[in-house]
Chains A and B, each alone.
Chain A
Amino acid sequence: MNNQLTISSSPHVHGNWTIEKAMYGVVLAMIPAMLVSFYMFGLGALRVMLISVIACLAIEYIIQKYLIKGPVTITDGSAIVTGILLAFNVPTSIPTWMLIAGAIVAIGMGKMSFGGLGKNPFNPALVGRVFMLISFPAAMTTWPKPIMSRQYFSFSGLDEKVMDSITGPTPLGILQEQGPGAVTPDYVNHLLGSMSGSMGEISAIALILGGVYMLVRKIITWHIPVSYLLSSFLFAGILWLVDPTQYADPLFHMVTGGLMLGVFFMATDYVSSPMSKKGMLIFGFGTGVLTILIRVFTPYPEGVSFAILLMNAFTPLINSYTKPKRFGEKLPA
């Protein structure tokens, strides 16, 4: 009897929070946005989603099993999250092979080369996305129109013959090309998701819903989303106040492009964001400012991915300068 007793140091109870609960919680939070994309882009969205998730899982499996020859941990949910996020970040017309190449870079380079979950300095899905954007600029900036593109499904991407008629620029693309005068602010449609863009970014409402779910389940804290939203809103707002004819209004920036996706699902990535509350606020603030900066002052119409990756690079620095306030640190006056 006695030799079967467990001896370990305290505490002897655990809160039952696990990596799986966190990761599958994130997956659950992405379902509204996923459903919107299925509705708007039809089977094409389903194709991209399946290929991306399966490719990410397969690559992680192959690397863990045959390259590292260590334990396989693909069931922890983190590769699924990366797969869904990568799918969310590409247009549904993307050819299959490009998507698989993106998944290889995301999981292989972005995550496993650093040692797997918990070790990657950059958000793996964004590493994959930026790789694809730089390598396949045309395919990555051809945006199927919502609803319209639903009926033209093809396994290899989009039918070349109808390509022109069913694709169109994103609102941010138009803004970049022709200035704020050319975009008619249509907040309701932008909120609901009726705009051209990457498959997962289109519906701000669905993304906010998922974000609120994660906040309620305490998967994420409010610090990064709120500071990110506030700083991008304020920065875009200042520009707009300076010259409304040259800069779009801040609300337009909020509901278009990948901002909401970035705010709730990519900037909040555990591994690549800072550890302290203070650090998270700085991180969110920096990402917000950089996002607008890139959108407005560079040739890229969208800056969310670059902004988050740039701030990811600052995370270690932020961590070492933003220690949490310790109990009893300040002597009473």
Chain B
Amino acid sequence: MKTFKLGGIHPAENKMAASQPIEEFPLPKQGIIPVSQHLGAPAKVLVKRGDQVKTGQLVAETAGFISANVHSPYTGKVKKIDHVIDASGYRHQAIIIDVAENEEWEEGIDTSGDIIRQVTAEPNEITEKMKAKGIVGLGGATFPSHVKLMVPEGKKVEYLIINGVECEPYLTNDHRLMLEKAEEMMIGVSILMKGLGVNKAIIGIENNKMDAVEKLQSLVKDFDGISVEPLKVKYPQGGEKQLIKALINREVPSGKLPLEVGCVVNNVATAYAVYEAVQKNKPLIDRIVTVTGKSLKKTANLKVRIGTKFSELVEYVGGLPEDTGKIVAGGPMTGKAITSLDVPVIKGTAGILIMNKKEARQAEPRTCIRCAKCTEVCPQGLEPFLLHQFGELQKPEDAEVNGIMDCIECGSCNYTCPSNRPLLEYIRYGKAQTNEMIRNRKQK
């Protein structure tokens, strides 16, 4: 079975929510819709205080090449436009909507459960539709998806790679989606293929989700050019460079995009959102969120409207346990620890992880014993111990020479360090310094 070669770790999977079917989460009383839910420029607000909005109505529009539209996930009244702290920990502009009791959808959106199999949209229509409906990468990076379809002159795409790896421990939202929305997702993949003009797509899934592999394999006969490939479990296989390496044995050159080796990578949840946008005319206003943790009474995979507060989701699974020590937006390897549950679900929220006191306990960092474990597990072939030093000593030149910008921030080095050194934290710090240095150099 395939996997990537260089480095990697095997953290405990803890996918407790894997057998929980997706549940439709009720509408919140009030929703907080940040205008910056994606990578790139924040969207420009189109509504004002007191405006009535319908479900699916455009409320903030794209403000740049790399930016994305934002739609109202509910029917109701705009209470105010304010700046609120979101899961990133920063204050961002957001539209706060009081949700009305009776839902009214924007015209032209197909809310029925019927599966529309015939793809009639032309490639340029597909790109336009994805842009209009605010589709962003749902694997975590939230890069505006339509931009990936606009292949620059001179570049040729051979493969569409679909990421169903879900290598983050605890998270099961992609897994459930592949099981329960398999056909819609596959149609989404074929739409993306058409949009890109490629005839080959590979869906990579780790072999801890063989039910999803079998489910999708049972459907491939109806879809030309799509294949499903089980992969040996190894973190961080969901990193796009590692996934491409595992599936077609090509290495994306340092500092380059997957396009360089003829690939475009999209997440399974993105493919599903593309299906909804193109076939059902539905904007990206909801997503599946895994709510999980060892001390929770139950775990769940919830289909949640964007803007719903984390606290409501946690309440649904029995409330915050007494022994809560840490709350993470996302998975335990790359997620972000948050200070409060009063933050909204956004397009990039894959999960909420509640860690108990014991799990949250942090060991004191100790001296580096030069065991080289971090070098051994780095999937990018870097020397984390060295980059950590350059970050700490503020030496961006040395950090750059030693490839700090190649770091994908997977956290494998931190995970494996016997001295509990905050390797990734300092590498991030070093990356910020190096970025600034590169910017200054370009200005000269």
A275 touches B383 (CB 8 A): yes
B320 touches A328 (CB 8 A): no
Min Cβ gap A13→B in Å is 4
Given A9-B425, A15-B415, also A327-B376 (CB < 8 A): no
B432 at the interface (CB under 8 A from A): no
Q: Could you tell me the dominant secondary structure of chain B's interface residues?
A: loop
Closest to B261 in A: A332
Closest to A274 in B: B372
The residue from A4, A8, A21, A329 contacting B337, defined by CB atoms under 8 A apart: A8
Interface-located stretch among A49-57, A176-184, A206-214, A318-326: A318-326
A15 touches B9 (CB 8 A): yes
Min Cβ gap A28→B in Å is 16
A12 touches B381 (CB 8 A): no
A250 at the interface (CB under 8 A from B): no
**With the chains together, A116 CA to B250 CA distance in Å?**
44
Write out the residue numbers on chain A whose beta carbons fall within 8 Å of the beta carbon of B251.
327-328, 330, 332
**With the chains together, A276 CA to B384 CA distance in Å?**
12
Q: Which of B366-399 contact A (CB under 8 A)?
A: 366-373, 375-376, 378-383, 385-386
A11 touches B411 (CB 8 A): yes
**With the chains together, A117 CA to B411 CA distance in Å?**
25
A165 at the interface (CB under 8 A from B): no
B218 at the interface (CB under 8 A from A): no
The residue from A8, A275, A330 contacting B385, defined by CB atoms under 8 A apart: A275
Q: Mark A211-240, 1 if CB is under 8 A from B, else 0.
A: 000000000010000000000000000000
| Interface residues contributed by chain A, number (CB under 8 Å) | 40
Given A11-B414, A19-B419, A22-B371, also A5-B382 (CB < 8 A): no
A5 touches B370 (CB 8 A): no
B123 at the interface (CB under 8 A from A): no
Given A117-B369, A324-B381, A326-B254, also A14-B415 (CB < 8 A): yes
Write out the residue numbers on chain B whose beta carbons fall within 8 Å of the beta carbon of A14.
363, 414-415, 417, 420
A1 touches B414 (CB 8 A): no
Q: Mark B314-339, 1 if CB is under 8 A from A, else 0.
A: 00000010001111100011111111
Interface size class of B (residues with CB under 8 A): 35 or more
**With the chains together, A276 CA to B241 CA distance in Å?**
22
A11 touches B334 (CB 8 A): yes
Q: Which of B393-433 contact A (CB under 8 A)?
A: 402-403, 406, 409, 411, 414-420, 422, 424-425, 428
B252 at the interface (CB under 8 A from A): yes
Write out the residue numbers on chain B whose beta carbons fall within 8 Å of the beta carbon of A271.
369-370
Write out the residue numbers on chain A whose beta carbons fall within 8 Å of the beta carbon of B261.
332
B373 touches A17 (CB 8 A): yes
**With the chains together, A190 CA to B416 CA distance in Å?**
39
B355 at the interface (CB under 8 A from A): yes
B141 at the interface (CB under 8 A from A): no
Best-buried of A4, A8, A11 by chain B (most CB within 10 Å): A11
The residue from B332, B402, B415, B419 contacting A323, defined by CB atoms under 8 A apart: B402
A331 at the interface (CB under 8 A from B): yes
Write out the residue numbers on chain B whose beta carbons fall within 8 Å of the beta carbon of A275.
370, 372, 375, 383, 385-386
B169 at the interface (CB under 8 A from A): yes
The residue from B332, B372, B402 contacting A270, defined by CB atoms under 8 A apart: B372
A151 at the interface (CB under 8 A from B): no
Write out the residue numbers on chain A whose beta carbons fall within 8 Å of the beta carbon of B368.
118
Q: Mark A98-125, 1 if CB is under 8 A from B, else 0.
A: 0000000000000000001111000000
Write out the residue numbers on chain A whose beta carbons fall within 8 Å of the beta carbon of B382.
324, 326
| Closest CB pairs A-B (n = 4) | A11-B411, A326-B381, A118-B367, A12-B332
Pairs across A and B, CB under 8 Å, 21 listed:
A6-B360, A7-B339, A8-B326, A10-B335, A11-B411, A11-B414, A12-B337, A12-B355, A12-B359, A12-B360, A15-B415, A18-B420, A118-B369, A271-B369, A324-B378, A326-B380, A327-B379, A327-B381, A328-B256, A330-B251, A332-B261
B residues near A, CB below 8 A?
6, 9, 11-12, 169, 241, 245, 250-254, 256, 261, 320, 324-328, 332-340, 353, 355, 359-360, 362-363, 366-373, 375-376, 378-383, 385-386, 402-403, 406, 409, 411, 414-420, 422, 424-425, 428
Given contacts A12-B332, A19-B369, A328-B380, could you give 13 more A-B pairs where the C-beta distance is less than 8 Å?
A4-B325, A6-B326, A8-B362, A10-B409, A10-B414, A11-B414, A12-B328, A14-B414, A15-B416, A22-B369, A118-B370, A275-B372, A326-B406
